[in-house]
Chain A
Amino acid sequence: MHPVLTIAKFELLRSAGQMRRDLVPVAAGLFVLLLLVTGFAAQSGMHLSDGLYTIGVDDPALASVLAKDPRFVVYRADGPLLERERGTLDLVVIGGQARAASTPRGQAAEKALRQVYDAYVASVYSSEPDLFAAYPLWIDTEEVRSEVDFSATASGQQVGLRPGTAPPTPEGTVEPLAEPPPGIGVTADELRRELVRDAASDDRLSRYTDVLRNGGGGEFRTPAQLSPPLPFDSIVLIFVFVFPLYFTSQFFMMAVMNERIDRRGEALLASPVHPALVLLGKGLPYLAGMLLVSTVLLLVLGAPLVILAVLLPVILFFLAAALLIGMTARSFKELSFVSIFFSTVATSYLFFPSVFANVHVIALVSPMTLVVYALQGTPITLSDYLYSTVLFYLVAGVLFYAGVRNFTEERLFSQSRPLTRIREFIGSALSDRHPYVSLFLLSALLIPFVFMAQMMALTLFFNLPMPWSILLLLVSAAFVEELAKSLGLYALFARSGRFRSWRVLVPAGGAVALGFLAGEKVLLFATLAQITESIFGAVLFTSLQALWMPFLLHLGGVLIVGACVLAGGRRGYAPGLVVATIVHVLYNLAVLRGAIG
């Protein structure tokens, strides 16, 4: 048997042997319990926002309509009495006129009332025998593909010209377009079913804001259904996919950690097999398990299996991160906190952009957007796939490489402080004989992380009003780059006194700057064309236009930090970073002004 498979088998047997005998029956029992509770919860509904608002109504029929919504505590009383008690209620309805208290809660109650009333009106009208008297207006939405590069508007610019008095005349040839037929070609009954279905899917979760509203199902919509198409159901499914993956990666994290307890890993370290194969073998059962869980989920949900290809880089990323977390955590507590932190950050990175799946290209930063597309039936192109997954593949690869390089006795059983450990982990990628070559490679390898962090900043900041989003993005992008560049140099200085000299600084800085530039160029060329064309891209990647200018910038940044460390020791590092970031921001601002003005 191949050594990888042997180790995988060993891993499986051992983790099964560690379990208490009652684990499987208890897990099965809990699963049954989970099904029962889910059924109960579906029956009784989620009582999270019950009784938030108080409302007084004078009409008993209307009161019974409103009482169906548990958010309202409804009081029925006569008009004069309600008028007197208005101050104590969020909302009063007298003679068919609603009046809300002018508090935030009153305003929210009014909004909730509008939702409830709209739903009630829709339920009355959708049961009318003559549907087209109740719903006389239907809208058919046709999407037209823009001929102009769409990343321009997607980055926040407005469409074309300021409207004039005369209708605009197109420049291109006008292809004759057939008038759409007046009829809708669908029976009233089909539309009615669609309306009822849409009303039912407008469930308790989606009512929190209009934001989380489903765009309506069918091809034809009533005006009320004409809201932005937010793929809400699909977004919920993201959690269905990501949560089990995160959960299974926890087991791998624990398995790695277990090797370090009581020096149990000695046996694996002593084996003649290369560490990379050992770690592959240890990870294999978990990788297989995660793929299996995903496949089962996809089959149960009836979703296209293409999604598996999208989930694969995410799985690899989770596993690689789990490997490193398991290798660095000093105690169970630390493992828990670090993994909770990691999962929160990773989940936001995956989840947040996909909210904008139908609205903005930024969504493609996250592979989960592709999952949403696949569920919606939107075709996924190869460039989409590369664009949103390549960072995950690369980061997973680099993390795994770091794990392999550090799979040694010295690293595994050390108990030094987390920051020292990170430094050691980076340091072991540097070679004593060829420090400059390894600095070059390290800087190039750090590029995927830099891009990921910058993408994270982009998803965070692109929502803010315009000057702020650009400014914050500028500062954070510069800081991330300076941090990444200085890491290798700092690790080299900390490694031995031999390197801590002014003579080393300039060639080392040159190697870092070159590696950084090369990595940036290669990765950008391969993938990020869409983002780089937008104004946000200009902010993130200004240093890429010419070659020698950014090289000098990168070199300058590294030299500043390096000089500060040489002059002030460890205390000089943070101030050095700040100064380098300021210089970087100023440079970017200068380039941007030149580019814009």
Chain B
Amino acid sequence: MNRRHVALIAKKELRGLSQERTILLAILLQVFIAVFSSFLMVGLASLYDPSAISRTVTVEYAIGYAGNESPLLDRLEAAQGLAVYRMNLSVAVQALRERRLSAVIHVPDTSPGGTEPVKLTLYTLQNDITASVLNVRLKGVFEAYEAELRELRADRLENRPLPLRVPAPRGGEFFEFVYGLLVPLLVLMPAIIASALIIDLVTEEYQQRTLETLLATPVTFTEALWGKIAACLLLVPLQAGAWLVLLALNGIRVAAPVGIVLHATAASAVLVLLGALVSLHYRERTSAQFVFSTGLVVVMLLALAVPANPLNLIARLSVGSAGPDHWVVLLLVTGATVLLAWLTTRYARSVARAFLEG
């Protein structure tokens, strides 16, 4: 194989991409997703997260308390951000309907230490943000009251869980979502784009009937194929790197960027070579894309089901808790790449022979 020929083809494909400006679209997509996921997080945080809400919302919620006196009343009155009124149930629910209250709690006449459970009824407004915000605030009060009732009934319990005191939350709500899910999936996206691209580049030569012209040059079929593969693979570290920069701009810094890019590139190489093999076989975009995408789901599921898979290692590298064993996995993936590369070359040669013989 002539290395200059391979480089020539790779350059040609990359130039084609930049001329078509489709690469701009890919970059735009990255920025869009980055913006979108950060918005998603801000939104979810402010809607669902208790600590985020208590930081931002300083409003007092008016709550109606109906039914029996109970220690819960004292707990509610002591809680921050709640204004509790003792009221008649019917009046309170009507006030809730008119939005003069945010919720109504009814406490029945059940003995705290008895055998029957204490059943509270919580009236909230349907389809309202306030209800969710309030639920989060009330949850803490209810849990404390539950613990109190449980102590009253403790003599009827057979087993107690091992004691453990964990300090109150101080943040870190989205750490795992970001590093354990978002970072690996985002870094994987370039791999999927690259493998879709190789299928396009190969099948296009067949379907646009440009293969004969290409083979009329001194470049061999195998060299042309490797040029295309090289062009696709070159894009992966660039895109993965761009992700890491974008994430850093969003305030999400990863611990070991070099390791992440290496793993992403090696995993992409496997996918790109699989894509090349599939498109050499089908020579037609629809079938090749269909078979490849289904195969991709199989490969991804399989990888995720195995411990210490590349995606997991990317997550661990991003939080800085990967041991040196990630090099072993990188070596294994690279081994698989070499094997696939050998297969691809052999297959390309036999395809070229068949093509020349007619």
In contact, B132 and A228 (Cβ under 8 angstroms): yes
* Docked CA distance A121–B167 (Å): 16
Stretch at the interface among A233-241, A313-321, A350-358, A446-454: A350-358
In contact, B121 and A148 (Cβ under 8 angstroms): no
Known: A98-B167, A114-B166, A132-B116. Contact between A209 and B42, CB under 8 A? no
Contact with A along B238-267 (1 / 0, CB 8 A): 000000000000000000000000000000
Residues of B within 8 A of A262 (CB): 208-209
* Docked CA distance A182–B200 (Å): 67
In contact, A227 and B118 (Cβ under 8 angstroms): no
Which residue on A lies nearest to B20, using beta carbons?
A: A334
Q: How many residues of B contact A (CB 8 A)?
A: 152
* Docked CA distance A45–B120 (Å): 38
Known: A100-B167, A331-B200. Contact between A182 and B96, CB under 8 A? no
Asked if A297 is at the interface (CB within 8 A of a chain B CB), the reply is no
Nearest Cβ in chain B — how far from A178, in angstroms?
9
Residues of A within 8 A of B307 (CB): 47, 50, 70
Asked if A141 is at the interface (CB within 8 A of a chain B CB), the reply is yes
Which residue on A lies nearest to B86, using beta carbons?
A: A167
Q: Which of B276-322 contact A (CB under 8 A)?
A: 281-282, 284-287, 289-291, 293-295, 297-298, 301-302, 304-309, 311-312, 315-316, 319-322
**Interface on chain A toward B: helix, strand, loop, or mixed SS?**
mixed
Stretch at the interface among A168-176, A474-482, A510-518, A548-556: A168-176
Contact with B along A181-193 (1 / 0, CB 8 A): 1111000000000
Which residue of B131, B166, B201, B286 is within 8 Å of A251 (Cβ)? Answer: B286
Residues of B within 8 A of A53 (CB): 321
In contact, A228 and B47 (Cβ under 8 angstroms): yes
Asked if B35 is at the interface (CB within 8 A of a chain A CB), the reply is yes
Residues of B within 8 A of A18 (CB): 284, 286-287
Asked if B160 is at the interface (CB within 8 A of a chain A CB), the reply is yes
In contact, B119 and A140 (Cβ under 8 angstroms): yes
Asked if A299 is at the interface (CB within 8 A of a chain B CB), the reply is no
Residues of A within 8 A of B86 (CB): 167
Asked if B2 is at the interface (CB within 8 A of a chain A CB), the reply is no
* Docked CA distance A461–B35 (Å): 10
In contact, A98 and B305 (Cβ under 8 angstroms): no
Asked if A130 is at the interface (CB within 8 A of a chain B CB), the reply is yes
Residues of A within 8 A of B25 (CB): 337-338, 341
Asked if B352 is at the interface (CB within 8 A of a chain A CB), the reply is no
Q: Which of B31-61 contact A (CB under 8 A)?
A: 32-33, 35-36, 39-40, 42-50, 56, 59-61
Known: A148-B98, A170-B91. Contact between A137 and B118, CB under 8 A? yes
**Interface on chain B toward A: helix, strand, loop, or mixed SS?**
helix
Nearest Cβ in chain A — how far from B150, in angstroms?
6
Residues of B within 8 A of A154 (CB): 127-129
Which residue of B47, B67, B91, B138 is within 8 Å of A359 (Cβ)? Answer: B47
In contact, A336 and B91 (Cβ under 8 angstroms): no
In contact, B22 and A337 (Cβ under 8 angstroms): yes
Residues of A within 8 A of B282 (CB): 20, 23
* Docked CA distance A137–B35 (Å): 43
Residues of B within 8 A of A68 (CB): none
Which residue on B lies nearest to A156, using beta carbons?
A: B129
Asked if A26 is at the interface (CB within 8 A of a chain B CB), the reply is yes
Asked if A92 is at the interface (CB within 8 A of a chain B CB), the reply is no
Nearest Cβ in chain A — how far from B348, in angstroms?
18
In contact, A62 and B123 (Cβ under 8 angstroms): no
Asked if A410 is at the interface (CB within 8 A of a chain B CB), the reply is no
Asked if B117 is at the interface (CB within 8 A of a chain A CB), the reply is yes
Stretch at the interface among B3-11, B170-178, B219-227, B329-337: B170-178
In contact, B99 and A223 (Cβ under 8 angstroms): no
Q: Which of A96-144 contact B (CB under 8 A)?
A: 96-100, 104-108, 110-114, 117, 120-121, 124-125, 127-130, 132-144
In contact, B204 and A96 (Cβ under 8 angstroms): no
Residues of B within 8 A of A460 (CB): 35-36, 39
**Most A CB within 10 A of own CB, among B42, B95, B127, B145:** B127
* Docked CA distance A153–B102 (Å): 11
* Docked CA distance A210–B190 (Å): 29
* Docked CA distance A591–B342 (Å): 68
Q: How many residues of A contact B (CB 8 A)?
A: 157
* Docked CA distance A237–B146 (Å): 35
* Docked CA distance A532–B180 (Å): 39
In contact, B60 and A227 (Cβ under 8 angstroms): no
Residues of A within 8 A of B338 (CB): none
Residues of A within 8 A of B173 (CB): 111, 209-211
Contact with A along B121-162 (1 / 0, CB 8 A): 111111111111001101100110110011011101111111
In contact, A169 and B197 (Cβ under 8 angstroms): no
Asked if B213 is at the interface (CB within 8 A of a chain A CB), the reply is no
In contact, B291 and A41 (Cβ under 8 angstroms): no
* Docked CA distance A150–B139 (Å): 24
Stretch at the interface among A4-12, A157-165, A387-395, A493-501: A157-165
Residues of B within 8 A of A168 (CB): 62, 85, 95, 100-101
Stretch at the interface among A27-35, A272-280, A399-407: A27-35
Asked if A76 is at the interface (CB within 8 A of a chain B CB), the reply is no
Add 16 more A-B contacts to A52-B315, A251-B286, A463-B42 (CB < 8 A).
A34-B297, A34-B301, A47-B304, A62-B164, A98-B166, A105-B175, A132-B116, A132-B117, A135-B117, A142-B123, A144-B124, A158-B130, A209-B173, A247-B293, A337-B29, A352-B36
Question: Can you list 17 A-B pairs with a CB-CB distance of less than 8 A?
Answer: A27-B290, A31-B294, A47-B304, A53-B321, A98-B165, A104-B171, A105-B321, A111-B169, A112-B176, A135-B117, A144-B97, A172-B94, A207-B176, A228-B47, A333-B22, A356-B47, A465-B56
